[in-house]
Amino acid sequence: MSMLRQTPYSNPEMPPSDPHLSHMALVLVLDTSASMTARGANGKSLIQELNDGVNRFKQEVLRDSSTEQILDVAIIRFDSTYEVIQGFRPIRDMVHVDLPANGYDTIYSPAIKEAIRMVKERSDQYRQYRRPYKPWILFITDGAPNPNDSAGIQAVAQEIAAMVQRKEVSFRSLAVGSDKENAFGVLRTLSNYGPSLTVRWDSEVSAGGGTVC
Protein backbone atom coordinates (compact mmCIF):
# COMPACT_ATOMS: atom_id res chain seq x y z
CA MET A 1 0.00 0.00 0.00
CA SER A 2 1.35 3.44 -0.88
CA MET A 3 2.61 5.70 1.91
CA LEU A 4 1.91 8.82 -0.20
CA ARG A 5 -1.22 10.94 -0.50
CA GLN A 6 -1.83 13.24 -3.43
CA THR A 7 -1.64 16.84 -2.14
CA PRO A 8 -1.72 20.34 -3.65
CA TYR A 9 1.29 21.36 -1.54
CA SER A 10 4.17 23.08 -3.29
CA ASN A 11 6.44 20.71 -1.33
CA PRO A 12 4.45 17.45 -1.24
CA GLU A 13 4.88 14.74 1.32
CA MET A 14 7.37 11.92 0.97
CA PRO A 15 7.39 8.41 2.42
CA PRO A 16 9.46 7.76 5.55
CA SER A 17 13.11 6.92 4.95
CA ASP A 18 12.65 3.41 6.35
CA PRO A 19 9.00 2.50 7.00
CA HIS A 20 10.03 -0.59 8.93
CA LEU A 21 11.35 1.62 11.73
CA SER A 22 8.98 3.27 14.21
CA HIS A 23 8.58 6.87 13.08
CA MET A 24 7.49 10.14 14.63
CA ALA A 25 5.52 12.93 12.93
CA LEU A 26 6.13 16.58 13.82
CA VAL A 27 4.06 19.51 12.50
CA LEU A 28 5.43 23.03 12.86
CA VAL A 29 2.55 25.57 12.87
CA LEU A 30 4.10 29.02 12.38
CA ASP A 31 2.63 32.52 12.70
CA THR A 32 3.27 34.70 9.62
CA SER A 33 1.05 37.63 10.56
CA ALA A 34 2.44 41.14 9.99
CA SER A 35 3.20 41.61 13.69
CA MET A 36 6.00 39.07 13.29
CA THR A 37 8.00 41.84 11.57
CA ALA A 38 8.57 43.43 15.01
CA ARG A 39 12.22 43.48 16.05
CA GLY A 40 13.65 42.03 19.21
CA ALA A 41 16.48 43.27 21.41
CA ASN A 42 19.04 41.76 19.06
CA GLY A 43 17.72 43.84 16.12
CA LYS A 44 16.35 40.87 14.18
CA SER A 45 12.66 40.55 13.38
CA LEU A 46 10.61 37.79 14.94
CA ILE A 47 10.04 36.23 11.52
CA GLN A 48 13.79 36.24 10.84
CA GLU A 49 14.39 34.55 14.18
CA LEU A 50 11.64 32.04 13.44
CA ASN A 51 13.04 31.18 10.01
CA ASP A 52 16.56 30.90 11.40
CA GLY A 53 15.39 28.75 14.29
CA VAL A 54 13.49 26.32 12.08
CA ASN A 55 16.43 25.96 9.69
CA ARG A 56 18.82 25.54 12.60
CA PHE A 57 16.54 22.86 14.07
CA LYS A 58 16.97 20.80 10.91
CA GLN A 59 20.74 21.04 11.06
CA GLU A 60 20.79 20.07 14.74
CA VAL A 61 18.63 17.00 14.14
CA LEU A 62 20.80 15.90 11.21
CA ARG A 63 23.70 15.59 13.65
CA ASP A 64 21.81 12.83 15.45
CA SER A 65 21.59 9.87 13.06
CA SER A 66 19.10 7.93 15.18
CA THR A 67 16.61 10.84 15.26
CA GLU A 68 17.22 11.66 11.60
CA GLN A 69 16.07 8.17 10.58
CA ILE A 70 12.69 8.39 12.32
CA LEU A 71 11.58 12.06 12.31
CA ASP A 72 9.22 13.31 9.59
CA VAL A 73 8.33 17.02 9.51
CA ALA A 74 5.46 19.02 8.03
CA ILE A 75 5.16 22.84 8.07
CA ILE A 76 2.02 25.00 8.18
CA ARG A 77 2.05 28.80 8.15
CA PHE A 78 -0.94 30.82 9.34
CA ASP A 79 -2.21 34.38 9.62
CA SER A 80 -5.74 35.23 8.41
CA THR A 81 -5.61 31.95 6.46
CA TYR A 82 -3.33 28.94 6.56
CA GLU A 83 -1.16 27.14 4.05
CA VAL A 84 0.66 23.81 4.19
CA ILE A 85 4.18 24.80 3.17
CA GLN A 86 5.47 21.25 3.29
CA GLY A 87 3.79 17.89 3.61
CA PHE A 88 5.40 15.26 5.81
CA ARG A 89 8.85 14.26 4.66
CA PRO A 90 12.03 12.97 6.33
CA ILE A 91 13.89 15.71 8.21
CA ARG A 92 16.82 15.52 5.79
CA ASP A 93 14.42 16.49 2.94
CA MET A 94 12.82 19.35 4.87
CA VAL A 95 12.70 22.56 2.80
CA HIS A 96 14.71 25.64 3.71
CA VAL A 97 12.28 28.05 5.40
CA ASP A 98 12.18 31.74 4.45
CA LEU A 99 8.64 32.74 5.35
CA PRO A 100 7.47 36.36 4.97
CA ALA A 101 5.29 37.99 7.63
CA ASN A 102 2.59 39.85 5.74
CA GLY A 103 -0.75 38.46 6.92
CA TYR A 104 -3.25 41.01 8.20
CA ASP A 105 -4.83 38.92 10.99
CA THR A 106 -4.15 36.01 13.36
CA ILE A 107 -6.55 33.05 13.18
CA TYR A 108 -5.43 29.96 15.09
CA SER A 109 -8.01 27.23 14.76
CA PRO A 110 -8.04 26.31 11.04
CA ALA A 111 -4.27 25.76 11.02
CA ILE A 112 -4.43 23.67 14.19
CA LYS A 113 -7.29 21.59 12.75
CA GLU A 114 -5.20 20.89 9.68
CA ALA A 115 -2.21 19.92 11.83
CA ILE A 116 -4.41 17.48 13.78
CA ARG A 117 -5.75 15.98 10.56
CA MET A 118 -2.26 15.59 9.18
CA VAL A 119 -0.78 13.83 12.23
CA LYS A 120 -3.74 11.45 12.39
CA GLU A 121 -3.31 10.53 8.74
CA ARG A 122 0.45 10.15 8.92
CA SER A 123 0.21 7.99 12.05
CA ASP A 124 -2.30 5.75 10.28
CA GLN A 125 0.20 5.39 7.43
CA TYR A 126 2.97 4.42 9.84
CA ARG A 127 0.77 1.74 11.41
CA GLN A 128 0.76 -0.15 8.14
CA TYR A 129 4.31 -1.15 9.09
CA ARG A 130 5.14 -0.41 12.73
CA ARG A 131 3.62 1.21 15.79
CA PRO A 132 4.68 4.90 15.59
CA TYR A 133 5.95 7.22 18.23
CA LYS A 134 3.44 9.76 19.53
CA PRO A 135 3.27 12.70 17.08
CA TRP A 136 3.99 16.29 18.04
CA ILE A 137 2.42 19.59 17.04
CA LEU A 138 4.48 22.71 17.79
CA PHE A 139 2.50 25.95 17.52
CA ILE A 140 4.38 29.28 17.53
CA THR A 141 2.74 32.73 17.65
CA ASP A 142 3.46 36.26 18.85
CA GLY A 143 -0.02 37.39 19.75
CA ALA A 144 -3.62 36.62 20.62
CA PRO A 145 -6.01 35.48 17.89
CA ASN A 146 -8.92 37.40 16.45
CA PRO A 147 -11.81 37.18 18.98
CA ASN A 148 -14.00 35.75 16.21
CA ASP A 149 -11.88 32.60 16.42
CA SER A 150 -12.87 31.85 20.03
CA ALA A 151 -15.43 29.14 19.18
CA GLY A 152 -12.99 27.45 16.81
CA ILE A 153 -10.27 27.54 19.46
CA GLN A 154 -12.55 25.98 22.06
CA ALA A 155 -13.40 23.18 19.63
CA VAL A 156 -9.78 22.38 18.78
CA ALA A 157 -8.80 22.65 22.46
CA GLN A 158 -11.37 19.95 23.28
CA GLU A 159 -10.07 17.74 20.48
CA ILE A 160 -6.48 18.22 21.60
CA ALA A 161 -7.38 17.41 25.22
CA ALA A 162 -9.13 14.21 24.13
CA MET A 163 -6.20 13.15 21.95
CA VAL A 164 -3.71 13.88 24.75
CA GLN A 165 -5.82 11.81 27.15
CA ARG A 166 -5.64 8.92 24.68
CA LYS A 167 -1.87 9.51 24.25
CA GLU A 168 -2.37 10.24 20.54
CA VAL A 169 -0.51 13.57 20.34
CA SER A 170 1.74 15.99 22.21
CA PHE A 171 0.76 19.63 21.63
CA ARG A 172 3.27 22.35 22.46
CA SER A 173 2.70 26.09 22.05
CA LEU A 174 5.23 28.91 22.20
CA ALA A 175 4.44 32.60 22.63
CA VAL A 176 7.21 34.92 21.40
CA GLY A 177 7.96 38.63 21.16
CA SER A 178 7.05 41.64 23.28
CA ASP A 179 3.30 41.09 22.87
CA LYS A 180 3.37 37.44 23.90
CA GLU A 181 1.48 38.06 27.15
CA ASN A 182 -1.67 38.67 25.09
CA ALA A 183 -1.42 35.13 23.73
CA PHE A 184 -0.88 33.35 27.04
CA GLY A 185 -4.50 32.97 28.06
CA VAL A 186 -5.54 31.42 24.76
CA LEU A 187 -2.47 29.19 24.61
CA ARG A 188 -3.26 27.92 28.10
CA THR A 189 -6.70 26.96 26.80
CA LEU A 190 -5.00 24.89 24.12
CA SER A 191 -2.22 23.67 26.40
CA ASN A 192 -3.83 23.42 29.82
CA TYR A 193 -2.10 20.16 30.66
CA GLY A 194 1.49 21.22 30.03
CA PRO A 195 4.34 23.17 31.69
CA SER A 196 4.95 26.88 31.24
CA LEU A 197 7.76 28.44 29.29
CA THR A 198 8.67 31.88 27.99
CA VAL A 199 10.72 32.15 24.82
CA ARG A 200 12.55 35.46 24.31
CA TRP A 201 14.31 36.33 21.08
CA ASP A 202 17.59 37.06 22.88
CA SER A 203 18.25 33.31 22.91
CA GLU A 204 17.22 32.94 26.55
CA VAL A 205 14.51 30.65 27.89
CA SER A 206 12.95 31.16 31.31
CA ALA A 207 10.32 29.10 33.08
CA GLY A 208 6.97 30.26 34.31
CA GLY A 209 6.02 33.23 32.19
CA GLY A 210 4.49 31.78 29.08
CA THR A 211 3.11 28.61 27.68
CA VAL A 212 4.46 25.56 26.04
CA CYS A 213 2.81 22.24 26.19
Residues 6 or more apart in contact with residue 43 via CB below 8 angstroms: none
- In sequence order, the 6+-apart residues with CB closer than 8 A to the CB of 61 are 67, 68, 71, 91
Amino acid 173: pLDDT: 87
> What's the rounded Cα separation, in Å, for the pair 102 and 104?
6
Q: Examine the pLDDT at 198 and tell me if it is beyond 60.
A: no
- Could you give all domains of the chain from N- to C-terminal order, each with its CATH number? 24-206 (3.40.50.410)
Q: Give the residue, 212 or 28, on which the prediction is more confident.
A: 28
> In angstroms, rounded to a whole number, what is the distance separating the alpha carbons of residues 86 and 27?
9
pLDDT band of residue 192 (cuts 50, 70, 90) is low
d(CA 21, CA 79): 36
Give CA separation, 207 vs 73, 149, 185, 200, in Å.
27, 28, 16, 11
pLDDT per residue over 3-59, tens digit each?
A: 333 344 567 789 898 888 999 999 999 999 999 999 877 889 999 999 999 999 999
Query: pTM for the whole thing?
Result: 0.85
Instruction: Give the pLDDT mean for 102-129.
Output: 94
